[in-house]
Chains A and B, each alone.
Chain A
């Protein structure tokens, strides 16, 4: 079956612009996660969704970052007024249920470059 998909695969933007990153989870998966992978920080957790709800936004690095999920499916991660330190690969994952230990299946990521 289809895995987690993300778009775009690559995004180059200028400092100060807003960007939207999209994630399509595996069909039927109720939980969705966003992570960021950068050379300096490694893999960092950003936010998770149970259905359309994100109970804990404390992993988002600043208030320029926001995320939403609609219809219990597609999620969008938005970064406003991008900065060079936002350059990273943004990974989305989904799991069947929101359970500790449930396998998270990852998408291929969106590579964001802020010039």
Chain B
């Protein structure tokens, strides 16, 4: 079975500060990992994904994430927060294992607040 843990349901940063959103996964087979962002009353938008190529993945809006197998982590970072980054962020995992291989299993989400 696969699972995702996002540490911190709410993260608050100042504009211009580093953004770090934490994600740890559990999987018995190599995972595919995703970060999605959700703005209020909207659907989910893909920020970036890891599919076993480069361990450092760059996404949209200046975000990047690094896959660390030894730590089973896929933390999301951005060097300098903008007010427009305020949203909820979801980490998700998908694996090629038994059961519903194609589903995304999501973490509980992290609400990012950016203070002026």
| A contact set with B: CB distance below 8 Å | 4, 31, 33, 35, 42-43, 45, 48, 56, 58-59, 91, 93, 98-101, 103-109
Of the listed stretches B15-23, B68-76, B77-85, B97-105, name the one at the interface; the rest are far from the partner chain: B97-105
A107 near B43: Cβ-Cβ < 8 Å: yes
Q: Which residue of B lies closest to A43 (CB)?
A: B106
Answer whether A45 and B32 are a contact pair too, CB < 8 Å, given A4-B43, A109-B43.
no
Interface string of B11-49 (1 = CB under 8 A from A): 000000000000000000000101010000111111001
Q: When A and B form their complex, what is the total count of cross-chain residue pairs whose Cβ atoms lie within 8 Å?
A: 59
Q: Which residues of B contact A108 (CB under 8 A)?
A: 41-43
Which positions in B face A, CB cutoff 8 Å? Answer: 32, 34, 36, 41-46, 49, 51, 90, 92, 94-96, 99-109
On whether the beta carbons of A42 and B106 are closer than 8 Å, the reply is yes
Q: Shortest beta-carbon distance, A85 to chain B, in Å?
A: 19
Identify the interface centre among A42, A101, A109: most chain B CB within 10 Å of its CB: A101
4 nearest CB pairs, A to B: A101-B32, A45-B103, A106-B43, A43-B106
Q: Within the assembled complex, what's the spacing in Å between the Cα atoms of A107 and B92? A: 17
Whole-angstrom distance from the CB of A11 to the nearest CB of chain B?
15
